[in-house]
Amino acid sequence: MASGHPQVVTLTEPRPVRWAVIAVGLLFLALFVVLPVVSVFVQAFEEGVDGYLAAITRDETWSAIKLTLLTAAIAVPLNVIFGVAAAWLISKYKFPGKNLLITVIDLPFSVSPVISGLIFVLLFGARGVLGGWLGEHDIQVIFAVPGIVLATVFVTFPFVAREVLPLMQDLGNDEEEAALTLGAGGWRIFFQVTLPKIKWGLLYGIILCNARAMGEFGAVSVVSGHIRGETNTMPLQVEILYNEYDFVGAFAVASLLALLAMVTLVLKKGIELLQMRARS
């Protein structure tokens, strides 16, 4: 066997080494990924399917689920618009402050989420910069839904821009310029030429953005005020239930978030495959 392909021999480790390396990898994966995920579901179904459903449909939990969906439904579209607009601006135009804008887009990634939440408290809270004015007009931002939405938008805004920008820069402007010389206006160029070029990257960004919007804890925790049935999102509800030793309730909500994560991963993989097929 070795005579014809000596290089195969030198590139292949002895069998025991191979098995050892694989075993270490699998063990690690089992201990830190599979076991926790499985235990979430085991705990959630400790009292059977009925117990699980009862835990999820309890008023407080149900309103947390609705608030999470509402927050994502506002934050994700806003960040799609912002992300695509920023990527378009940066990849198609030259202007002073362009590099600053690119850096600022990454800011939410580099700042601790707790600080992100605190920024909004300092801005909109009762003693904040805009607090007085908001109080006079009876507008509640902090410890209310608007604050949660704002904090989520802030924390999740890099996702779409970060996916779409490199794609737009890579693909260049030739097709857009061609459309321009063929008489097309800006909106038509965007929807008929640019959007089809970036659609997979955009979808990818949307999915990541959505996952983070639903799962964000730190920033939201600071601005929420933890009012039961009103300003608790799913991650916050998990914490409350857990602190009250309601393990079935806590793990039932956690299982929904885990499910969201798994769906996100499957979609992400699916998009990557579609993207590869579209290119070949």
Task: Identify which of residues 37 and 184 has a Cβ nearer to another protein in the complex.
Answer: 184
Contact region with another protein (CB under 8 A), list: 138-146, 151-159, 182-190, 204-212: 182-190
Nearest distance in Å: CB 84, another protein: 18
**196 near another protein (CB under 8 A):** yes
Check residue 275 for interaction with another protein (CB under 8 A): no
d(CA 250, CA 46) in angstroms, rounded, equals 12
What's the rounded Cα separation, in Å, for the pair 200 and 48? 40
Query: Which lies closer to another protein via its Cβ, residue 4 or residue 185?
Result: 185
Which residues ranging from 197 to 256 are in contact with another protein (CB under 8 A)?
197
27 or 178: CB nearest another protein: 178
Residues 177, 259, 265, 269: which binds another protein (CB under 8 A)? 177
Q: Which is nearer to another protein, 122 or 184 (CB)?
A: 184
Dist CA 33 CA 85 (whole Å)? 37
A 10 A CB-CB count for 9 gives 10
Q: Are 67 and 227 in contact (CB under 8 A)?
A: no
Choice from 184, 257, 260, 267 touching another protein (CB under 8 A): 184
Is residue 185 part of the contact set for another protein (CB under 8 A)?
yes
DSSP 3-state of 246: coil
The stretch among 12-20, 101-109, 110-118, 177-185 that binds another protein (CB under 8 A) is 177-185
- Give residue 183's region: left, alpha or beta (phi > 0; psi -120 to 50): left
Taking CB under 8 A as the criterion, the residue among 122, 123, 144, 193 binding another protein is 193
To the nearest whole angstrom, how small is the minimum distance from the Cβ of residue 185 to another protein? 7
d(CA 231, CA 55): 18
| Alpha carbons 198 and 84: distance in angstroms, whole number | 10
Report d(CA 261, CA 264) in Å as an integer: 5
**Residue 183 in the binding site for another protein (CB under 8 A):** yes
Between 149 and 202, name the residue whose CB sits nearer to another protein: 202
**Which DSSP category does 143 fall into?**
T
Please report where in the chains the tokens 């407080």 appear, as a residue. Answer: 60
| x-marked contacts with another protein along 127-166 as a string, rule CB under 8 A | ----------------------------------------
Give one word for 123, left, alpha or beta, with left for phi > 0 and alpha for psi -120 to 50: alpha
Stretch that binds another protein, among 50-58, 75-83, 189-197, 250-258 (CB under 8 A): 189-197
Sign of CA dihedral 272, 80, 113, 59: negative
In contact, 215 and 260? CB cutoff 8 Å = yes
Interface positions with another protein (CB under 8 A): 174-175, 177-185, 188, 192-193, 196-197
